[in-house]
């Protein structure tokens, strides 16, 4: 059995999910249950799909979950952009989330390429 917790992309995406939960626990973001729920669910989806994909029996199954995780990273970025434009988060917070999402997406691309052989 592989150990997804050793994957740097899983560690980074898990940390991002924790950060998103903390960020959305305050101010207007905390009161906007729809956007808060959506961004938290998307953030949790990233490490969850990485973990699930890493535990599956075939590379093709794994790759499918890694692509889902990559899509969830794009969702988080989109929701962070919206959150910034409606003044829930600062430009600095939005930039940080964007940097993390892009980094995670890049790591996932490399992981997918490695699994393809």
pLDDT computed for residue 13 by the predictor = 98
Residue 56 is given by DSSP the state S
pTM above 0.85, yes or no: yes
Helix crossing, 59-85 with 8-23: angle to 10°? 30
Question: Which pair of structure tokens corresponds to residue 67?
Answer: 């692509």
- Could you tell me the residue ranges of all domains in the chain? 4-116
Average pLDDT of every residue of the chain: 96
What's the CATH code, domain 4-116?
1.20.1440.60
7-57 tens-digit pLDDT: 999 999 999 999 999 999 999 999 999 999 999 999 999 999 999 999 997
In angstroms, rounded to a whole number, what is the distance separating the alpha carbons of residues 39 and 22? 12
| Residue 87 CB neighbours (<10 A) | 10
In angstroms, rounded to a whole number, what is the distance separating the alpha carbons of residues 89 and 27? 9
pLDDT above 90 as % of the chain: 95
Residue 7 is given by DSSP the state -
Q: Is pLDDT of 62 > 70?
A: yes
């Amino acid at each position: 059995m592989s150990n997804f917790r050793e994957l740097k992309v899983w560690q980074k995406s898990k940390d991002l999910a924790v950060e998103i939960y903390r960020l959305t626990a305050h101010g207007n973001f905390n009161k906007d249950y729809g956007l808060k729920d959506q961004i938290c669910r998307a953030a949790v989806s990233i490490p969850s799909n990485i973990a699930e994909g890493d535990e599956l029996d075939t590379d093709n199954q794994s790759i499918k979950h890694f692509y889902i995780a990559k899509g969830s990273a794009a969702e988080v970025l989109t929701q962070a952009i919206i959150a910034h434009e409606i003044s829930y988060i600062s430009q600095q917070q939005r930039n940080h989330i964007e940097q993390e999402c892009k980094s995670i997406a890049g790591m996932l691309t490399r992981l997918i390429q490695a699994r393809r052989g």
